[in-house]
A and B are shown apart, each in its own frame.
Chain A
Amino acid sequence: MPGQAAELVFDEATKVYPSREGAAVDHLSLTVPAGEICVLVGPSGGGKTTALRLVNRLIPLTSGDIRIDGTSINDQDVVQLRRGIGYVIQQIGLFPHMTVEANIGTVPRLYGRSRSWIHTRAHELLELVGLDPSYAKRYPSQLSGGERQRVGLARALAADPPLMLMDEPFAAIDPIVRSRLQDEFLRLQQEVRKTVVFVTHDVDEAIKLGDRMAILRPGGKLAQYDTPTRILESPHDDFVAEFVGADRALKALALRTLAELDLGPPGDGPRVQRTATARDALALMIEKHADVLAVVDDAGMVVGSVSRDRLLR
């Protein structure tokens, strides 16, 4: 079975449907470094999902190439290729006729893993995604939307694939649970360090999760591919600027924690954790009518201060 993380390269990848005018994905070229999360984002009609499905050949390329660790996807047996790629879709993606354990064991079973191996692995993965191992014997209909999505994630991780494709996995989940799942997904990624291609139409989700964001415009053309910070700070054109939103400066604040800033000397003021984002700090200043905040560490010791000017610089 696979392991590690793989580098993914789109090389002029193009999909044209004969029945449709124009391309769905138009000469898409970008490289996702091993172990990074690349979020494909853009308005509908941008070909995000098509681009994702080109990778595991659920949709065949019209021209161009996609390479995983240097090997073209077309040079591999399609079934073997897919078994080596984790695939997560919206919550409906769990097999309703299989228990949670059988769902997680889907791909390992294809690899011929034994029942006991799958049993152990399923328990391990349930813990990893924050579910009690007693869930193993349940059916998907007995789970909440958020729980199903965790199981979907566990299933995609079961064979330890070097690459994961995630197609709007959190879209059908209510905002509070979604935000928690996003946090846990990031924590999980710290542990497993997979290469992830993540499709969403939600720009905030893209900013939060992506190491890099690829913004696709209608017609499947790449508008900009960069880190969320750089896209927010210097959008390539009006389309990108408009897409990330008029509040992009505020969004950019959410990408920095106070720990990353140059703090002033310890001082008085409302207290804020150094792990808080600049955006949280700004919100606190507005709420408390304060110009300066006292920054504290985990133990509650004041380690510095931050002023409104410094925050917005």
Chain B
Amino acid sequence: MNVAAGPVIPNFGQGSSCEVNNGWFCPEWVTGHWHDTLEPALVQHVELTAIAVGIGFALAFALALVGFRFRLLDPPIGVFSDFLYTIPSLALFQILIPVTGISVTTVEIALVSYTLLVLYRNTIEGLRAVPEEMVDVARGSGFTRMQTFLRVELPLALPAILAGLRIATVSTISIATVAAFVVAKGLGSPIFVALEQDVFKTEILVAGGMAVALALVADGLLVLLQRALTPWSRA
């Protein structure tokens, strides 16, 4: 297992008394290492998450269209994404490393795998939950099949799809900290380094706290997106 070599290893012999005594929260450490440690880790974390959720959403949406259109294919796709979801992340890394190496690709494949279940399920359930009458009126009014899908079924499934996107994003932000087991990227990396260095509490606390804050902010932004895209649900 590759251990991320963090740029900052607190030297308990120097620095402030807080740092020397491994205090719970040393603000001077945070300001001193924002630019070389925390900020890059945050940016990487956002990138890891965005790529994973982006690819996961595209894949899950395509699969959901297939499963929605061809009902027989829904159970196998569902079982497959269930199966991916149940593999522990550390085990999945071990399986992937011989194939894709110690790389961001390995991390992203794992992260994407975990988004599929919730994104697929929410999308297909959202589409299925569209009342039959809506489709009936659309078809009866002369919508083509494609128009019925784009103008009626998809918009009505949007709340469920966006709810899936929220869950997938928040859980990916959480799981992405484990990426540090493979590559020194993301907010997991400073946590990992701090664990190696006699459990430096401030770094663990701050990096962990940033992951939580990032998840909350991302969730909030998605709620705003949901409101913008589904104005009728507030009416």
Residues of A within 8 A of B (CB): 53, 56, 58, 79-85, 87, 89-90, 92-93, 95-98, 106-107, 110, 138-139, 141-142, 165
Looking across the interface, which residue of chain A has its beta carbon closest to that of B159?
Answer: A97
| B136 at interface, CB cutoff 8 A | yes
Kindly identify which residue among A82, A107, A141 contacts B139, using a CB–CB cutoff of 8 Å.
A82
Complex CA distance for A78 and B208, rounded to whole angstroms: 59
Flag if B141 contacts A107 (CB, 8 Å): yes
Beyond the given A90-B133, A95-B134, could you list 9 further A-B residue pairs with CB under 8 A, ordered by the A residue number? A85-B140, A89-B140, A93-B133, A93-B134, A95-B137, A95-B152, A97-B230, A107-B142, A139-B235
Secondary structure class of chain B's binding surface, majority of residues: helix
Chain A: minimal CB distance from B234 (Å): 9
Q: Count of chain B residues with Cβ under 8 Å from any Cβ of A? A: 21
With a CB–CB cut-off of 8 A, which chain B residues contact A107? 141-142
Residues of B within 8 A of A (CB): 131, 133-134, 136-144, 147, 152, 155-156, 158, 230-232, 235
Looking across the interface, which residue of chain B has its beta carbon closest to that of A138?
Answer: B235
With a CB–CB cut-off of 8 A, which chain B residues contact A141? 232, 235
Complex CA distance for A89 and B134, rounded to whole angstroms: 10
Kindly identify which residue among A79, A89, A95 contacts B144, using a CB–CB cutoff of 8 Å.
A79
With a CB–CB cut-off of 8 A, which chain A residues contact B156? 96-97
Complex CA distance for A214 and B230, rounded to whole angstroms: 44
Flag if A82 contacts B142 (CB, 8 Å): yes
With a CB–CB cut-off of 8 A, which chain B residues contact A92? 131, 133
A-B contact pairs, 16 of them (CB 8 A): A58-B139, A82-B139, A84-B142, A87-B137, A93-B133, A95-B138, A96-B232, A97-B230, A97-B232, A107-B141, A110-B141, A110-B142, A110-B143, A138-B235, A139-B232, A139-B235
With a CB–CB cut-off of 8 A, which chain B residues contact A87? 137, 140-141
Flag if A83 contacts B133 (CB, 8 Å): no
With a CB–CB cut-off of 8 A, which chain B residues contact A56? 140
Kindly identify which residue among A82, A90, A98, A139 contacts B141, using a CB–CB cutoff of 8 Å.
A82
Flag if A93 contacts B137 (CB, 8 Å): yes
With a CB–CB cut-off of 8 A, which chain A residues contact B232? 96-98, 139, 141
Chain A: minimal CB distance from B134 (Å): 7
With a CB–CB cut-off of 8 A, which chain A residues contact B133? 89-90, 92-93
Q: Chain A CB within 10 Å — which of B136, B155, B230 has the most?
A: B136
Looking across the interface, which residue of chain B has its beta carbon closest to that of A77?
Answer: B142
Flag if B136 contacts A89 (CB, 8 Å): yes
Looking across the interface, which residue of chain A has its beta carbon closest to that of B131?
Answer: A92
